[in-house]
Amino acid sequence: MRVAVDCLDQIVAARSGPVYAYHQIVHNNQVVDSFQSRGVVFVDDIQKIPNDAVVVFSAHGVAPEIYRQARARNLTIVDATCPLVMKVHLEARRFQQEGYSIVLIGHRGHDEVIGIQGEAAESIQVVETLEEIATVKVPDPQKVAVLTQTTLSLDETKAMIAALRLRFPLLRLPHKDDICYATQNRQEALRAALAQADIALVIGSRSSSNTQRLRELSCEYGVRSYLVDRPQEIDLEWFRDAHRVVLTAGASVPEELVTEVMHWLSERFLLEIKERIYREEQVNFVLPASAISASYATTP
């Protein structure tokens, strides 16, 4: 997610003219609003972008057909697809080439799922719930593979893969787990902290799948959970009779927004802050070459 934001930031800084982004660069309203104030135009239809313009594809990835349409309009393409999402795209291509029917666990209509489906439209079927697994139909039960949206709940995904294995014992899995490491780390850290929590305050936008999973996880543990996009959405009544509050944030939430929420709380409550580090994240991705090329091409 951070790579996509840095990618768009670099392009905007290098250009004097408008920059277009296909879909929200990440699913966070604060980030999108910030870029819009700097002149970025977000579109959900590639045909609305003028010919010869610069377009940045969001972190969620796009289908090959979107690439084709962009090239037909002579657009300068900067692909900010998250490398972990791109991994799932490549897996979809590989499984299709090997003749597998693909079950994609994810949310229908989500930008990421639409992009993955576009890689192997004739071979992929999407399932959202355990109940839907019973309805999966394939031409060859011995050639079935599974992929997952990267921002899902770990527990729910494991349960669905286990159910698929019962139906298709030879089920093929990716070489590595598809769930985003940042999503996974946040879920595991939250789970460890919930045992001592009266309230869970989740920072992020409702359009963010991984943020919604954090809120749902808190509810599953019986902890009152509230999702807020900004400090102004916090209701002081939530904290009545509460002593321990767990604060977490979605993967695409800027660090400064977390700090802003902490400051808002500290102005209204006497806080004893305990930071829990569950796992250090040391995975780093470089900016895509297309971003660097576009920046050089547009710098006076």
Rounded to an integer, the average pLDDT of 177-203 is 87
List all residues 6 or more positions away from 119 whose beta carbon is below 8 Å from its beta carbon: 63, 64, 89, 92, 93, 96
Looking from the CA of 276 toward its CB, the CA atoms found within 13 Å total 15
Residue 280 confidence class, pLDDT cut points 50, 70, 90? low
Q: Please tell me the least confidently modeled range out of 37-46, 54-63, 128-137, 170-179.
A: 170-179
Active site residue 112: yes
Residue 296 confidence class, pLDDT cut points 50, 70, 90? very low
Span 118-172, pLDDT tens digits: 999 999 999 999 999 999 999 999 999 999 999 888 888 999 999 999 999 999 9
User: Angle, nearest 10°, between helix axes 181-194 and 209-220?
Assistant: 20
Residue 257 confidence class, pLDDT cut points 50, 70, 90? very high
Q: 25, 47 in Cβ contact below 8 A?
A: no
CATH: 2.60.120.330, 3.40.50.1820, 3.40.1010.20, 3.60.15.10. Which one for 181-266?
3.40.1010.20
Rounded to an integer, the average pLDDT of 36-42 is 95
pTM across the whole model: 0.82
CATH code for the domain defined by 84-167: 3.40.1010.20
Residue 295 has pLDDT above 60, yes or no: no
Rounded to an integer, the average pLDDT of 180-196 is 86
Q: What are the residue ranges of CATH 3.40.1010.20 in the chain? A: 84-167, 181-266
In the chain, the N- to C-terminal Cα span, in Å, equals 29
The CB-based long-range contact list for 29-33 (8 Å cut-off, 24+ gap) reads: 29/205, 29/207, 29/229, 30/205, 30/229, 30/230, 30/253, 30/254, 30/257, 31/5, 31/252, 31/254
Q: What are the residue ranges of CATH 3.40.50.11270 in the chain? A: 2-82+285-298
Q: 26, 1 in Cβ contact below 8 A?
A: yes
User: Which helix (H) or strand (E) is 300 found in, with range?
Assistant: none
| Catalytic option among 112, 131, 216, 233 | 112
Percent of the chain with pLDDT over 90: 70
Rounded to an integer, the average pLDDT of 264-276 is 85
Residue 1 has pLDDT above 60, yes or no: yes
CATH code for the domain defined by 2-82+285-298: 3.40.50.11270
What secondary structure does DSSP assign to 222-248, as a single string? T-EEEEESSGGG--GGGGTT---EEEE
